[in-house]
Amino acid sequence: MPLTTYWLEHAWLGTHVEPGVALEAGTDGRITALRTGTDTPPPGAEVLRGLTLPGLANAHSHAFHRALRGSVQVGSGTFWTWRELMYRAAQNLTPDNYFALARAVYAEMALAGITNVGEFHYVHHAPGGTPYADPNAMGEALIEAAAAAGIRITLLDTAYLSSGFGEAPNAHQQRFSDGSADAWAERVSALKPREHALIGAAVHSVRAVPAGQLATVARWAEEHRAPLHVHLSEQTAENDACQAAHGRTPTQLLADHGVLGPRTTGVHNTHLTDTDIALLGGTGTGTCMCPTTERDLADGIGPATRLQQAGSPLSLGSDSHAVVDLLEEARAMELNERLRSRTRGHWTANALLTAATADGHAALGLTDAGRLEAGALADFTTVALDSVRTAGPLPRLGAETAVFAATAADVRHTVVAGRHVVRDGHHTLVADVPSALSEAIAALRA
């Protein structure tokens, strides 16, 4: 017997918008049936008016960066001055206050239609680098925060061992480091997946993991069949330092040590050579673009079109959470390319939504999510088509309306594993998300 029947006024089915769709979610949290041509709601069905999409996948998140919103927009500066402010916030994190902050941030994501987050997690130990009694206390706090907010998480536990090529971690970075990749692998192996959580791996960057230890991280991910993410060529300074230390680009260095491949995702991939693009595409390594962060930090515009054409699947992330809005990330990727090329239409709305859904979930290790079809996880979100931003276009243009006009504020419902997490714009588990955010961020300043 199905747990719940939902009637979708309009549904995006990957290639087009279909009116009148009945979706049955089973007790296992999966879609058991999908019926089109259902003009009226079946008896007892939950009615979702608007455009229902598969749940959005936020493939790159640093939850504690949400505490920086507003303050890092004061004045001018560079990525590197921004990083100093980020380090200050990281120093104040504890397992308890990180749980509170992440719960509120993940609830904000649910309100934005996000059903799965890839948390690029590197704040592992107490200040000074002393492990907690449970060496994975910080990672466990994030996993529990996702459960409390009602969304899925892929915890991308991150190896972060150096402040630069051949340099020891600085005072801020000591709590990020396990000392060696072998020690990192031993610690992360104690983390266990659960119903709402997968465990993945990350190389923070080529500057933060010595070249001789990259293979250890890659081997752990291979043995555990886990996703592997890496910040890649976000800054030209990283490229220059890598060339000076190793005589090659960061992409070439990763290729030399077996890091690239179809379970690997490079985050940003902004400043690449033609050879880099060919290496990433040829190995099937993914690309996670984070346009709102990349523009906030003045990083530059990555070659997303060329990467995809070369064979690199695209996903999207909110990264520093300057905003939490995957529809804006999708829109920004296309509009950035228009500004650079002075031509329009590099991706269709369907292609941009695929990056935000199916390909994003795949980058996080979920190949059975991001589609509205029988057998897939019953994770989906509904965008209003009658707000001041979305009213007017024909419903069959719902994909275009969602990508090029809607915002996170237009998300009306979010369902995870067949159960409402957001109903009529209100979170069902976190009663007052703005207050939860305010209180958690204030506690970090105390």
Query: 330, 356 in Cβ contact below 8 A?
Result: yes
Considering the candidates 268, 271, 346, 420, report the single residue annotated as catalytic. Answer: 268
Q: Where are the alpha helices (DSSP H) in 150-188?
A: 181-188
- How far apart CA 44 and CA 396 sit, in angstroms, is 26
Does 256 qualify as catalytic in the annotation? no
- How far apart CA 397 and CA 180 sit, in angstroms, is 52
DSSP 131: P
3-state secondary structure of 422: strand
Backbone angles phi, psi at 244, to 5 degrees: -65, -40
- How far apart CA 148 and CA 63 sit, in angstroms, is 14
Backbone angles phi, psi at 212, to 5 degrees: -70, -10
Neighbours of 41 (CB within 10 A): 18
Does 240 qualify as catalytic in the annotation? no
- How far apart CA 45 and CA 23 sit, in angstroms, is 9
DSSP 164: B
CA distances from 427 to 63, 108, 113, 379, 444 (A): 18, 9, 11, 15, 23
DSSP 318: -
Considering the candidates 157, 276, 296, 319, report the single residue annotated as catalytic. Answer: 319
Write out the two tokens for 223.
């043995």
Cβ-based neighbours of 114, under 8 Å, separated by 6 or more? 55, 56, 57, 58, 151, 324, 326, 381, 414
Residues with a catalytic annotation lie at 268, 319
